[in-house]
Amino acid sequence: MFPGNWEAHDSLGTAYFKEKMYLDAAMEFGEALALNPGYQAGYYNMAYAYRKAGRYNEAIKYYEKYTKMKPDDTDAYYGLAESYKAVGEKDKAVENYQIYIQKEQRRPSRSGSTRRGPRSPSSRAGRRRRR
């Protein structure tokens, strides 16, 4: 549909996500990653879309990759903990909740806002969208 244009796939994935079409979103985020494997936020987006779709093992795979690339991103640890909890891996869930809490306590306040959806391509430039 968008040969060679990873940003178009990412944008379509975001649109699908907003419509709660999570597996379609994951497919488009996967296409974006295939075209641009260096797009780190794409791994988070894949994980989040798979988690929202109830595909927890796939979510875990992408959250694990993302936390290796971006170890200071607290949201990924929360998603990882939720995914491990959903598949019954209580010890790994607790471990990741603890990491999430520790990292959140060290972060400056974000005014109580919460992220609602995938990350945009602007995230790759080092700008964080509010949650």
The pLDDT tens digits for 5-55 are 899 999 999 999 999 999 999 999 999 999 999 999 999 999 999 999 999
Mean pLDDT of 114-121: 55
Domains in the chain, CATH or no CATH each: 6-108 (1.25.40.10)
pLDDT value of position 92: 98
d(CA 37, CA 39): 5
**Which residue from 55, 47, 118, 49 is spatially nearest to 86, judged by alpha carbons?**
55
pLDDT value of position 4: 83
pLDDT value of position 113: 47
Residue type, 101: I
d(CA 1, CA 100): 38
For residues 57 and 30, is the Cβ–Cβ distance under 8 A?
A: no
- Strands (E) across 1-131 are located at none
C-alpha angle 20/122/21, rounded to 5°? Answer: 10
